[in-house]
Amino acid sequence: MSPFHDLALFASRRAFLGRSFGSLGSLALTHLLTEAARPSQAQARVQAGPLSGPHHRATADAVICLFQHGGPSQMDLFDPKPELRKRDGQPYEGDLEIHFSGQKGNVLASPFTFEKRGNSGLELSELLPHTAGIVDELTLIRSVVTESVDHESALRLIHGGRFQAGDPTWGSWVTYGLGSENQNLPAYVVLTDPGGLPVDGTRNWTSGWLPAVYQGTAFRPGASPVANLANPADVTPAARANQLRLLDRFNREHQDRYPGNTELAARIANFETAARMQAAVPEVLDLSDESEATRRLYGLDNPATAEYGARCILARRLIERGVRFVQLFLAGQPWDTHSNNAESLKGLCARTDQPSAALVLDLKQRGLLDRTLVMWGGEFGRLPISQGKDGRDHNRHANSIWLAGGGFKGGYSHGQTDEFGYKAVDQVVNVHDLHATLLHAMGLDHKQLTYPHDGRPGSLTDIAVTKAEVIRELLV
């Protein structure tokens, strides 16, 4: 039987859902990958296994997170501030928390114009003409706050809820809670930039103290996206088939002496899974069956958008095949516009605006958006004053992030910042509340999604400290 036979069933997520969504329980088709990653028998006594299913009815089954490293400038993209124009070049009166305190400048207006867009009339910057086209699908939160103005700490906060390194990211938590729906692909896939790793490297998708199986698997650019995916050059398919048969014989004879040992059984099954992965991963990466219209939609015909567009298509293909969590990163931290803010933003938007919007449109056209959560944003925002001549410094008190699909409202803006866009003042959303809400959409109760850590139940939101709560207003 062709290894693609199973995949055909997954070609459309709708078809898949139609097949298995009849009962809620079957959504938690916790697949072999997850199953096998249960702690070994001995450890099972001290560590809970993955959940048997969601805590409540989910509005999203999958996540695509388009992460924007460096801190996109909210007052140039999402949060219009006419007051800045009025006081452009004047000294800012009042206290500001400044990262590079030696380079404090005056009020810096955005050179970009904002317009009301879509039926909802959400205002967006001229830098985002394509996002403007999907504005009615978006929940735009203009009031996200965090607890650090340092990139690494702020990244750990938005990914994993704590500013020290070493805790699991929310992608790991979702994967731990729900597993994957395709045993031939990793449940949590990270698509890195061919230009290099983002700041804080692989920690952006660490599973921390959750078992390693829940960490993101980075698909590397190039021919072998997963380590050791291709057979060794000198082993022909026929030779490999003989090898696997011999291995199976060895293992089964060994297993016969230890009846009931599930770990040994899982390891035997893993060799079959591994062989299927060897076929499934190249298939998902092959974009040749994408239509010309789709390729144009994502900007594959334009050098500025082609690379990011291709990864956005790949994200959709992974979700279609049952991958739970896909995260895209950019190399370094390109949104960190300490100097030459305006010009840098033009280039970054030219690269990301069209593919990001295309992803949402494409998911909608394929009927996938209602069960897929798309998130776009960075670790913090930027200041309303200039840094040096023409830059903007970090700002943890205001950040704009958008969410689409997966049960989030469309054409809805949440929260407000002060007249300068420095501080969120109304409907403030901290990262912990955001996490609680994201998990909620996935059918997971952030209070119940725990794993033993340091002898007590560890969680993403750690409510004893953060008092995190689900923000109902964001959800349909």
Partner 1 sequence: MPPLPDFDQQIAPLLKNKCVRCHGPAKSDAKLNLALKTGIVRGGKTGKLFVPNDPESSLLWDQVADDAMPKGEEPLSAQEKELLYNWIKAGAPGLPGQVSETPDGDEHWAFQKLNPPLVPEVRDAFRVGTVLDRFLEARLEKQGLHLGPEAAPATLVRRVSLDLTGLPPTLEEIQRFQADAAPNAYEMMVERYLASPHYGERWGKYWLDVAGYADSNGYFNADTDRPLAWRYRDYVIRAINADLPFDQFIREQLAGDELVRYTPDKELTSRELDMLTATHYLRNSADGTDSSDGNEDEVRADKYAVLEGTLQIMGSSLFGMTVQCARCHSHKFEPLTHTDYYSLQAVIYPAFNIEHWAKTRDRQIPAVSPSVWRAAEESVKSFEAELAHRKQEHQEWLKAHPEPSLVVFADDFDAPGATLGPHWSNTAPGDTRPLGIPAVSVDSSMAPAVQISDGKLKVIESGAAGDRAISTRSVIDWTPDHPGGWVQATFELVEGAPYVGYLVALHDYSDEQPDQGGNVLFDGAASGKAQVYLDYPGVDSKQAGPIGQSGYTVGHRYGVRVTNVGEGQFELAQVVDSELEPNTVKVPESALPDGGFGFALCCGRSFVVDQIRIESSFDSAELAGEAAEAQLVRQAEQTAFAARLQEFEKQRPQMPGELAHVADGSELAPEVFLLERGNYKAHGAKVDASPPGFLQEQGGEPAFLPTPADLKSSSGRRLALAEWITRPGSRASALLARVTVNRWWQHHFGTGIAATTDNLGYSGTVPTHPELLEFLAAEFERSGWSQKAVHRLILNSSIYRQSSEASPDSLRLDGDGRLLSRFPIRRLDAEAVRDSLLAVAGEIDRHEGGPYVPTDRGGDGEVFVKQETAGSGRRSVYLQQRRTQVAGLLEVFDAPTLVFNCAARVSTTVPLQSLSLLNSPFVRLRSESFASRLEREEPSDVAARLDRAFLLAWGRPPTTQERQAALLFLQEQGDVYHDQAHATHHAWTDLAQMLFAANPFLYVE
The yes or no reply on residue 278 touching partner 1 (CB under 8 A) is yes
The yes or no reply on residue 166 touching partner 1 (CB under 8 A) is yes
**Binder of partner 1 out of 12, 270, 302, 416 (CB under 8 A):** 270
Q: Which is nearer to partner 1, 4 or 163 (CB)?
A: 163
Structure token pair of residue 19: 């097949």
The yes or no reply on residue 104 touching partner 1 (CB under 8 A) is no
| Count of other CB atoms within 10 angstroms of residue 436 | 26
Closest approach, Cβ 229 to partner 1, in A, equals 7
Could you give the angle at the alpha carbon of 105 between the alpha carbons of 101 and 107, nearest 5°?
A: 125
Could you give the angle at the alpha carbon of 177 between the alpha carbons of 359 and 59, nearest 5°?
A: 45
How far apart, in whole angstroms, are the C-alpha atoms of residue 125 and residue 116? 9
Conformational region of residue 428, where left means phi above 0, alpha means psi within -120 to 50, and beta covers everything else: beta
Closest approach, Cβ 120 to partner 1, in A, equals 39
Q: Which is nearer to partner 1, 225 or 309 (CB)?
A: 225
The amino acid occupying position 421 is G
The amino acid occupying position 387 is Q
Q: Which is nearer to partner 1, 225 or 407 (CB)?
A: 225
List 201's β-bridge partners, or say none. Answer: none
Q: Which is nearer to partner 1, 36 or 287 (CB)?
A: 36
Closest approach, Cβ 336 to partner 1, in A, equals 13
Q: Which is nearer to partner 1, 40 or 119 (CB)?
A: 40
Structure token pair of residue 389: 């001549």
Q: Which is nearer to partner 1, 240 or 346 (CB)?
A: 240
Q: Using CB under 8 A as the criterion, what x/- string covers residues 193-212 for binding partner 1?
A: ----x-xxxxx--x----xx
Find where tokens 């400048």 sit. Answer: 105
Structure token pair of residue 232: 């060794």
The yes or no reply on residue 95 touching partner 1 (CB under 8 A) is no
If 0-12 CB within 10 Å is exposed, 13-18 middle and 19+ buried, where does residue 456 land? exposed
Closest approach, Cβ 66 to partner 1, in A, equals 21
Closest approach, Cβ 210 to partner 1, in A, equals 9
Q: Is 458 helix (H, G, I), strand (E, B) or coil?
A: strand
Radius of gyration of the chain (CA): 23
- Contact status, residue 31 vs residue 180, Cβ threshold 8 Å: yes
Q: Which is nearer to partner 1, 85 or 254 (CB)?
A: 254
Q: Using CB under 8 A as the criterion, what x/- string covers residues 363-402 for binding partner 1?
A: ----------------------------------------
The yes or no reply on residue 119 touching partner 1 (CB under 8 A) is no
The yes or no reply on residue 48 touching partner 1 (CB under 8 A) is no
- Contact status, residue 141 vs residue 415, Cβ threshold 8 Å: yes
Q: Provide the Cα torsion 46, 51, 55, 61; round to 10°.
A: 150
Closest approach, Cβ 43 to partner 1, in A, equals 7
Contact set for partner 1, span 28-47 (CB under 8 A): 33, 36-37, 39-47
**Binder of partner 1 out of 56, 86, 267, 467 (CB under 8 A):** 267
**Binder of partner 1 out of 6, 126, 150, 419 (CB under 8 A):** 150
DSSP 70-100: T---HHHHT---HHHHHTTTSPPPS----SS
Q: Which is nearer to partner 1, 292 or 454 (CB)?
A: 454
**Binder of partner 1 out of 9, 17, 96, 165 (CB under 8 A):** 165
Contact set for partner 1, span 306-345 (CB under 8 A): none
Q: Which residues contact 345 (CB under 8 A, 6 or more apart)?
A: 72, 73, 76, 77, 112, 127, 337
Closest approach, Cβ 50 to partner 1, in A, equals 12
Q: Using CB under 8 A as the criterion, what x/- string covers residues 209-248 for binding partner 1?
A: --xxx---xx-x-x-x-xxxxxxx-xxx-xxx-xx-xxx-
